[in-house]
Structure 1
């Protein structure tokens, strides 16, 4: 009897545990659905284009997306063309000179040969791709693998092969034993033959493309184009006058004195994207300003302080607009649970550093190629010089363009009826977000500075870096940029003095650095041509001039 009671009690407990488990799962799902509905409100969807763009880049960045799309296209084309065959006049098909007009055995043999051939070639192309990726990882660095994986021609060639294979299998299934009731889909077989010829041409193109893709100059050029696109995304051609007026707002200097709450990331990882519009909407709902101290590409943990939320004081002018202009009313409130949930949706964190709109990531690709080229195992200073020249082109564009402002303002829309009663100050922009923006000096130090530290004993690369400072001086627009170039030039000279093997090499580098320094300090240098002439070359030139005279 006690054993029976214990068994009955245990069964009741198990039923209660299962009921509690299902109830907990249902409550959790309901809670998550509620949070999802709140997070993806119409206000949060202000960054929808950026979110869709990130999703599309993730799909394109995967190696399976385009081949899978080609397989789906082949699966859809097969029944479509077979259906057209069933309603097409056979006599008309025989009048087409290149059309297939054989019996079912010939059609089955052709489709079997095409399916087997393209599948074998697809395996060959995949093997070639793996070999190229292995070589690229050792020579250019693992960060450059994405450029090879996301190469559209490679994905399309592989997709064409497996798409043709899928199409051939489905058409082969529709070929009947006897030619009765549309047994041989002649147009479908003809299309398969055409696709097989195209696949043969694509194989030749694939080999030629891979030969060019593994060249260092081609890899550097692709990384440079990627960096230039990111620069154009962040840097504008001219200064925004209205934005400069907004920067003079009194909140820009006073928000540091407000009540501050530390901001933590939801989890550890690399910051891949900061959705500015969603973050600005969040700050407006809670009546404050968020200042971010991290940038794209930075690694953070869940305990890092990545910024602060500054809450407006109660006596702030923006809090006293309820009666006159209700649409401008801001009611400050402290961060609560929903604030942190919405903030977690305003930034995108990844466990690995991936491609984004980060300029430093694009410049870092060329820097990594140069550093690996300077390693003893590769020892290719020419490639490092090419990287320095490409980085110089990118940095020159950045110097000439207007950098992004760290201050982001929210401009409330005024009603037409109340436009006469609301003065200009009330309709002015409201400070909502302050971001961390790297300077030109930071980018120079992370790119050319890294190469300088690894090329301290290579005169060729050091002179290329010195020439880079001269080329950048043509694009400088203010005194701060001039001082940055002079500082980097001094570091190049010191690196050569402490690491070059021969005194003659040191003297050659010092002479070039001195001439470069005089050129950068010249106010009219941007309209002059710089040409370095070593002491030995000057001595030979004078000797030749003396002999000729």
Structure 2
């Protein structure tokens, strides 16, 4: 197969473009405009590294490459008589050392291939049973990466130690400590193989996968939702700009490219708005797909006579005058939003909840037909949603608070706090999360009484965590939809009557004043008849 000069030239051009883009991203990471969001950017970079299957094994290989010459050097300066006093240390000749290192290198490499084959088989099964979105949970499983890294790290270490064994150098030809460490690592690898098999058996269980997805969702919920209400932020929201900025001159904002929105760096956006004197409103959420022609928000320019345009700066009597967005504005805005070509893991709550929803939907498919797994997903989703209902949701309003002057007292700073509206984001409501998680399961479980009754019980359980009447109305609306889905899709009238009776009892329970202090126990008409008959006989 021949490659012409044009193909080689295009290959070099593509390679050069990729290298330039990587260097540009690295330069943007350390630019002055993005230093305020540097922890978030580094965290995203770390998640990308952990999400790749090569990072930890590569680190283990590097450790093995560094340990081999280090231990060989220590061997050359170590007293051999002291080594012989160690009972478990290797004290053989060079032929025995070479045989042991060859056996260890060959064995661990073969076992590494076996573990890799098992991992590929598990990934294939997880993709078909749980969904392709769950593959990242298996790839980022740290124990799996550590086991594979220990095997190939021991292999690279054994090869380098084997190279340092010399046949005719009697004094320093056999690195006894290095060979002893290789034997210890071989025993550790044997134990890790047993642990790997046991770990994979538990990892492919549906309950374990659901629990990991639930823990990931709870982590993201705590990242966005607060445990208490920020009183000062509530006072800032009363600023007149919150109601009036929609009347300012506006300009549509377009994304820099097509893809999925993975991260919005708010601190960089706030800095950008202050440099151009305006407010940025974002209408999209994390995980949304946009094209380069989509309008994802607006930039509202502050009027020239606005009081916030006359701020004290480092230069006395220098006014910050609003200016229209230019080319630099759009370049900086492109650095404030992270867009990927594929949907990857991020701090998106909807993405984490969608993993459990996808497991439930696949479990309800005719090919799998596992309603118990769907019920487990409903219960895990209920736990996550109840935490969201009890916590303080994130505010869509983000302000720029100038640093106070050094000559101002603390009392004056508190009294004259200046908060300038900078960014307005779109925050999903709890009803949106319920509709995209439990509501999606309801649409696929319309003909399964077990899952529908589990959804009714989920509404009752969520009622214990509600804090306002809007959440109560959301739960009642969802119960109505569950009841209607059963009426139109259940096969037998008895099943429909059972679901309707449970839905009505759940509605009455939610509407009662002391519902959050009572226990809900659904009793069907048949069970009530049996209980009454048993009580009559006992008399």
What TM-score bracket applies, with the shorter chain setting the length? over 0.9
Specify the alignment match of 2:81 in structure 1. 91
SS of the aligned residue for 1:470 comes to helix
Specify the alignment match of 1:244 in structure 2. 234
- Contact 2:166/2:174 (CA < 8 Å) preserved in 1? yes
Q: Structure 1 residues 162-171 or 420-429, which shifts more?
A: 420-429
Post-superposition CA distance 1:495-538 (Å, at most 9, x none) = 00000000000000000000000001011100000000000000
For residues 189 and 313 of structure 2, the distance between their equivalents in structure 1, rounded to whole angstroms, comes to: 72
Specify the alignment match of 1:75 in structure 2. 65
Residues 1:412 and 2:368 are matched in the alignment: no
Per the normalisation by structure 2, the TM-score is 0.94
Residues 1:344 and 2:334 are matched in the alignment: yes
For residues 324 and 51 of structure 1, the distance between their equivalents in structure 2, rounded to whole angstroms, comes to: 29
Specify the alignment match of 1:434 in structure 2. 424
For residues 543 and 328 of structure 1, the distance between their equivalents in structure 2, rounded to whole angstroms, comes to: 88
Specify the alignment match of 1:335 in structure 2. 325
For residues 289 and 24 of structure 2, the distance between their equivalents in structure 1, rounded to whole angstroms, comes to: 30
Residues 1:548 and 2:532 are matched in the alignment: no
Post-superposition CA distance 1:304-339 (Å, at most 9, x none) = 000000000111111234599959943211000000
For residues 112 and 238 of structure 1, the distance between their equivalents in structure 2, rounded to whole angstroms, comes to: 61
For residues 370 and 348 of structure 1, the distance between their equivalents in structure 2, rounded to whole angstroms, comes to: 30
Post-superposition CA distance 1:94-147 (Å, at most 9, x none) = 111111000000000000000000000000000000000000000000000000
For residues 197 and 113 of structure 1, the distance between their equivalents in structure 2, rounded to whole angstroms, comes to: 13
For residues 351 and 463 of structure 2, the distance between their equivalents in structure 1, rounded to whole angstroms, comes to: 24
- Contact 1:39/1:342 (CA < 8 Å) preserved in 2? no
Q: Structure 1 residues 212-221 or 88-97, which shifts more?
A: 88-97
Residues 1:467 and 2:457 are matched in the alignment: yes
For residues 264 and 377 of structure 2, the distance between their equivalents in structure 1, rounded to whole angstroms, comes to: 29
Which ranges in structure 1 are unaligned for 5 or more consecutive residues? 1-21
Out of 105, 110, 113, the residue aligned to residue 120 of structure 1 is 110
1:145-164 mapped onto 2 (5 Å cutoff): 145-164=135-154
Specify the alignment match of 2:363 in structure 1. 373
Specify the alignment match of 1:500 in structure 2. 490
1:56-455 mapped onto 2 (5 Å cutoff): 56-321=46-311, 329-417=319-407, 427-455=417-445
Q: CA deviation at 1:44?
A: 2.4
Q: CA deviation at 1:416?
A: 2.2
Q: Structure 1 residues 321-330 or 300-309, which shifts more?
A: 321-330
Q: CA deviation at 1:427?
A: 3.8
For residues 37 and 139 of structure 1, the distance between their equivalents in structure 2, rounded to whole angstroms, comes to: 42
For residues 122 and 342 of structure 2, the distance between their equivalents in structure 1, rounded to whole angstroms, comes to: 22
Q: CA deviation at 1:34?
A: 9.8
RMSD: 2.4
Q: CA deviation at 1:179?
A: 3.9
For residues 57 and 144 of structure 1, the distance between their equivalents in structure 2, rounded to whole angstroms, comes to: 15
Out of 44, 47, 53, the residue aligned to residue 37 of structure 2 is 47
Specify the alignment match of 1:5 in structure 2. none
Change (3 A) 1:197 1:293: same
Specify the alignment match of 1:17 in structure 2. none
Change (3 A) 1:32 1:259: farther
SS of the aligned residue for 2:339 comes to strand
Per the normalisation by structure 1, the TM-score is 0.92
Q: CA deviation at 1:414?
A: 2.3
SS of the aligned residue for 1:291 comes to strand
For residues 84 and 348 of structure 1, the distance between their equivalents in structure 2, rounded to whole angstroms, comes to: 48
- Contact 1:104/1:179 (CA < 8 Å) preserved in 2? no
Change (3 A) 1:221 1:104: same
Post-superposition CA distance 1:318-376 (Å, at most 9, x none) = 12345999599432110000000000000100011010000000000000000000000
Specify the alignment match of 1:479 in structure 2. 469
- Contact 2:378/2:454 (CA < 8 Å) preserved in 1? yes
- Contact 2:37/2:267 (CA < 8 Å) preserved in 1? yes
- Contact 2:29/2:38 (CA < 8 Å) preserved in 1? no
For residues 24 and 110 of structure 2, the distance between their equivalents in structure 1, rounded to whole angstroms, comes to: 50
Change (3 A) 1:328 1:297: farther
Specify the alignment match of 1:14 in structure 2. none
Change (3 A) 1:387 1:37: closer
Q: CA deviation at 1:180?
A: 2.4
The size of the alignment, in residue pairs, is 525
- Contact 2:255/2:292 (CA < 8 Å) preserved in 1? yes
Post-superposition CA distance 1:136-161 (Å, at most 9, x none) = 00000000000000000000000000
For residues 33 and 167 of structure 1, the distance between their equivalents in structure 2, rounded to whole angstroms, comes to: 33
Q: CA deviation at 1:178?
A: 2.1
Change (3 A) 1:491 1:60: same
Post-superposition CA distance 1:255-278 (Å, at most 9, x none) = 000000000000000000000000
Flag the structure with larger Rg.
1
